[in-house]
Amino acid sequence: MITSARASALIFPLVMLFAGPSPAAQDAALLKDLTSVIMLLGLPCGQVVSAKRQADNDHIASCQNGMRYRVFVNAEGRVVAQKQ
């Protein structure tokens, strides 16, 4: 009979093997990237606190200061942030 400790020791490595990157970690990276883009474009924001994906390379970013921007890649391949 397998004890619960031994079962956990067998299951844990399998879970780690099949588990993908954490969605929270991806979200944190996205928020940081959007914050950087908005800052580099010289727009007031502070820090992006949430983002909603519209399409590939198209997000609505909500800033710490209450501002909202649509951040996307335009037809020329440039990153643009439009105030919402």
pLDDT at residue 22 is higher than 70:
no
Count how many domains the chain has.
1
CA dist 51 and 29 (Å) reads 11
DSSP SS3 for 54:
strand
d(Cα 15, Cα 41) in Å, to the nearest integer? Answer: 42
Confidence band, pLDDT 50/70/90 cuts, at residue 23: low
> Can you give the pTM of this predicted structure?
0.69
Q: What's the CA dihedral at 26, 31, 34, 35 to 10 degrees? A: -140
Instruction: Evaluate whether residue 16 is within a structural domain.
Output: no
| pLDDT at residue number 8 | 44
43: in domain: yes
Per cent of the chain over pLDDT 70 is 69
User: What is the structure's pLDDT at 75?
Assistant: 92
Q: Measuring CA to CA, how many Å separate 64 from each of 5, 15, 34, 49, 84?
A: 45, 36, 12, 6, 14
| Position 44 in a domain | yes
